[in-house]
Structure 1
Amino acid sequence: MKRRDFIAAIGGAAALPLAARAQQPAMPVIGYLGMGSSDTEVFLAAFRQGLSEAGYAEGQNVTIDYRWAEGNPERFPALAAELVMLKVHVILTTGGTLAAIAAKRATATIPIVFAAVGDPVAEGLVVSLARPGGNVTGFSITLPDLIGKLLELVKEAVPGASRVALLFKPDTMPDRVREARLKEADASARALGMELQVFEARERGDFDGVFSDMSSARAGALVVWPTPVFQLERRRLADLAAEHRLPAVFQSRNYVEAGGLMSYGPNLPDLSRRAAIYVGKILQGTKPSDLPVEQPTKFELVINLKTARALGVVVPASLLARADEVIE
Structure 2
Amino acid sequence: MLLRLILLMTIVFSALTCVARAEPKEILVLTWRGPTPAEEGFMNELDMLGVEANFEFFDANRDQDKLAGFLRENLDRLKKKDLIYTFGTTTALTTRNFDFEGVPHLFNIVTDPVAVGLAASLDAPGHGSTGAKMSLPADVILELTEQIHHYDKIAFLFDPREPNAVSEVDQLTAIARAKGKDAVQLRFTPDAAEKELQIAALAPQVEDADIVFLTSTSSFIANSHLLKEIIPHDKVSVSSSTAYMSEGVTVSFGTEYRERGVAAARVAAKILKDNMHPNDVPIDEITTEDATIFINKDSPAASKLHLEDAKNPIKYK
Q: TM-score, normalised by structure 1?
A: 0.75
1:131 is aligned to 124
Structure-2 residue corresponding to 1:78: 69
Q: Offset at 1:312?
A: 8.5
Residue identity in the other structure for 2:204: S
**1:255 maps to which of 234, 244, 249:** 244
Return the offset for 1:114.
0.4
In 2 relative to 1, CA 323–147 (structure 1 residues): closer, same or farther, beyond 3 Å?
A: closer
Counterpart AA for 2:183:
L
Q: Does structure 2 retain, via aligned residues, the 8 Å contact 1:53–1:277?
A: no
Deviation at 1:295, TM superposition (A): 1.2
Give the secondary-structure state (helix, strand or coil) at the position aligned to 2:46: helix
- Are 1:55 and 2:40 an aligned pair? no
**Distance change in 2, residues 1:82/1:28 (3 Å):** farther
Q: Which residue in the other structure is 2:5 paired with?
A: none
Shift in Å at residue 92 of structure 1?
Answer: 0.3
The CA deviation at 1:68 is 0.5
> Alpha-carbon deviations, 1:214-246, whole Å to 9, x = none?
323233431001123323333442x33455753
- In structure 2, how many angstroms separate the alpha carbons of the residues matched to 1:212 and 1:245? 18
What corresponds to 2:294 in structure 1? 302
Q: SS at 1:93's partner residue?
A: strand
Partners of 2:110 and 2:294 in 1: CA distance: 22
Cα distance between partner residues in 1 of 2:260 and 2:315: 19
| CA distance in 1: counterparts of 2:244 and 2:82, whole angstroms | 34
Note if contact 2:71-2:98 (Cα within 8 Å) is conserved in structure 1: yes
Distance 2:265 2:272 in 1: 10
Matched, 1:282 2:271: yes
Checking the alignment, whether the CA contact within 8 Å between 1:220 and 1:246 is kept in structure 2 is: yes
Secondary structure in structure 2 of the residue aligned to 1:145: helix
Deviations 1:131-189 (A, max 9, x none): 22231111223414144236526xx43x4x54322111223228xx947x555433433
Relative to 1, partners in 2 of residues 1:71 and 1:182: Cα closer, same or farther, differing over 3 Å? closer
Query: In the alignment, is residue 104 of structure 1 matched against residue 96 of structure 2?
Result: yes
Q: Distance in 1 between matches of 2:234 and 2:122?
A: 40
Query: Is it true that 1:197 corresponds to 2:197 in the alignment?
Result: no
* Uncovered stretches (5+) of structure 1, i.e. residues with no partner: 1-23
2:26 pairs with 1:35? no
The C-alpha deviation readout for 1:25-80, integer Å capped at 9, x for no partner, is 7643110011124xx35223211222113213xxxx42111111113344332233
Q: Which of these two proteins has the greater Rg computed from alpha carbons?
A: 1
1:92 to 67, 78, 85: 85
**What does residue 18 of structure 1 align with?**
none
What is the rounded CA distance, in whole Å, between the counterparts of 1:101 and 1:296 in structure 2? 22
Alignment of 1:211-226 (within 5 A): 211-217=199-205, 218-226=208-216
Is structure 2 residue 54 aligned with structure 1 residue 67?
no
Q: Which runs of 5+ in 2 are unaligned?
A: 1-20
Does the 8 Å contact 1:250/1:262 carry over to 2? yes
Distance 1:210-1:193 versus aligned 2 partners, 3 A rule: farther
Corresponding residue of 1:293: 283
How much does 1:98 deviate? 1.4
Contact 1:139/1:271 (8 A) holds in 2: yes
CA gap 1:105/1:317 in 2 versus in 1, 3 angstroms: closer
| 2:104 partner amino acid | P
CA distance in 1, matches of 2:131, 2:64: 19
Contact 2:250 2:299 survives alignment (8 Å): yes
Q: CA deviation at 1:207?
A: 5.0
Do the aligned partners of residues 147 and 140 (structure 1) sit closer, same or farther apart at CA in structure 2, a change above 3 Å counting? same
Letter in 2 for 1:213: A
- SS of 1:125's equivalent in the other structure is coil
> Percent identical across equivalent pairs?
22
* Amino acid of the structure 2 residue aligned with 1:132: P
Q: Which amino acid aligns with 2:186?
A: F
- Tell whether the 8 Å contact from 1:138 to 1:293 is kept in structure 2 after alignment: yes
Q: Aligned-residue CA RMSD in angstroms?
A: 3.0
Aligned: 1:318 with 2:302 = no
Report the CA distance shift for 1:138/1:44 in structure 2 as closer, same or farther (over 3 A). Answer: closer
Query: 2:229 corresponds to which letter in structure 1?
Result: L
